[in-house]
Amino acid sequence: MNDPTNDWKRVLDSHRLPEPVYVTKPTMPDLGRYTQELESLWKTGWLTNQGCMHQDLERRLEQHLGVENLSLFCNGTIALLVALQSLRINGGEVITTPFTFAATPHVLHWNGVTPVFADIDPHTFNLDPARIEQRIGSNTRAILAVHVYGTPCDVDALQTIADRHGLAVVYDAAHAFGVRYKGQSILRYGNASVLSFHATKLYTTIEGGAVVASSQQHKERVDFLKNFGIADEETVIGPGINGKLNEFQAAFGLLQLETVDQEIAQRAALARLYRERLETLPGLKLLPHNKEVTPNHSYFPILIDEAQFGISRDALYQALRDCNIVTRKYFHPLCSHYPCYAALPSARPENLPVAERVAQRILCLPIYGSLPPETVGAVCDVIGAIHRAAVAS
């Protein structure tokens, strides 16, 4: 008799890719151009502390993104920390999502704020406005929402709730570089938005980030806070931190800006290919299109329904890994499961049913500009073959 384990093994063996393919990979600038840019640093010896390239990059990013009052940072986490400080959110409670990267609730903790988790929307995976008001109490100071995978939050509904209760809204826009909503940058909503320029992001300065403040006065406060609170050689106006981006990173970022539109266009083509191939596979759900959104395709998440697909998310993750396809379970486990937050009343799984379900089923497939379309085809072939083998066994 035919052993189903052998069938399964044959499927994986016949689809294994020769080299590992990771969930993302930075598109590097031309090395010759980068070293040329660095020559000026050798001449001047000016390496950090708001140098020329830093200033140039702030201006160019504002133009590119269609925003004002952008401040560069050494990474997205410190940018988030400072954005909250700049709005004096340094105590009480803040409502946030459990379906995000560790940095989101951690910056609340580092600011002396207790995170209060609210459930997410089953379609966008962002904070569900309908779940927020029941979490608002007398200590609530703000809403810290995440445009997860670059999908805009329901910004209008969040603002209405915030206005009704006198709360600030801060957006963790780590995934949302270049995303537009109703024709304008998604970074223009709320009291502040924060970007990450980490190496895993579609626009990168190796490590880096930015705060988009709501006014010039707000940006000035952000800039003081990111530079130890220093106003001049003899004046420190408050307890700031060191959040500066250096000139090597700014030079990298200036070159990246020349190619980021192409990066997004290449990702869009790959996302279309994934959609064509995976949309009709039973048991897989893809993110819905929203006509009001210009997306950036920073991630390609799929949701796996084990009953229909044939195997669980974890089994698919492992099978793909056996084929040299390294996907990621962003964001499993939920932040509400971390030992530092699990004892909070809002972290109880029964309070977060949608987030719990999504975290068990989500998988992010490889997507980056230099990923060959044939490799996306090969990833889809493997997923299809695994599904067929799973339902046949």
Q: Does 103 bind ligand T4K (CB under 6 A)?
A: yes
Q: Does 203 bind ligand T4K (CB under 6 A)?
A: no
Residue whose C-beta lies closest to ligand T4K: 76
At residue 94, φ and ψ (nearest 5 deg) are -130, 135
Q: Does 366 bind ligand T4K (CB under 6 A)?
A: no
Residue type, 248: F
Q: Does 146 bind ligand T4K (CB under 6 A)?
A: yes
When the beta carbons of 11 and 264 are compared against ligand T4K, the nearer one is 264
In the region spanning residues 241 to 300, those forming contacts with ligand T4K, defined by CB under 6 A, are: none
Rounded distance, CA 124 to CA 120, Å?
8
CB atoms within 10 A of CB 393: 13
Contact with ligand T4K (CB under 6 A): which of 85, 104, 191, 266? Answer: 104
At residue 56, φ and ψ (nearest 5 deg) are -60, -45
Contact with ligand T4K (CB under 6 A): which of 93, 119, 121, 172? Answer: 172
Query: What letter would DSSP give residue 167?
Result: -
- Answer for the pair 25, 370: CB distance below 8 angstroms, yes or no: yes
Query: What letter would DSSP give residue 30?
Result: P
Paired strand residues for 236: 230
Contact with ligand T4K (CB under 6 A): which of 53, 58, 67, 76? Answer: 76
Q: Does 25 bind ligand T4K (CB under 6 A)?
A: yes
**Smallest distance, ligand T4K to C-beta of residue 102, A:** 8
Scanning the structure block, which residue is given the tokens 């024709």?
183
**Smallest distance, ligand T4K to C-beta of residue 389, A:** 26
Scanning the structure block, which residue is given the tokens 């987030």?
355
CB under 6 A: which stretch of 194-202, 259-267, 275-283, 286-294 binds ligand T4K?
Answer: 194-202
- Answer for the pair 185, 199: CB distance below 8 angstroms, yes or no: no
When the beta carbons of 79 and 390 are compared against ligand T4K, the nearer one is 79
Q: Does 77 bind ligand T4K (CB under 6 A)?
A: yes
**Smallest distance, ligand T4K to C-beta of residue 391, A:** 30
Q: Pairing mode, if any, of strands 93-96 and 114-117?
A: parallel
Rounded distance, CA 210 to CA 65, Å?
12
Residue type, 16: R
Rounded distance, CA 176 to CA 155, Å?
13
CB under 6 A: which stretch of 55-63, 169-177, 180-188, 247-255 binds ligand T4K?
Answer: 169-177
Rounded distance, CA 159 to CA 173, Å?
16
When the beta carbons of 76 and 301 are compared against ligand T4K, the nearer one is 76
Closest CA to 246 of 34, 78, 54, 79: 54
Contact with ligand T4K (CB under 6 A): which of 171, 224, 330, 341? Answer: 330
When the beta carbons of 224 and 331 are compared against ligand T4K, the nearer one is 331
In the region spanning residues 83 to 102, those forming contacts with ligand T4K, defined by CB under 6 A, are: 100-101
Site residues for ligand T4K per CB under 6 A? 22-26, 75-77, 100-101, 103-104, 146, 172, 174-175, 196, 198-200, 209, 326, 328, 330
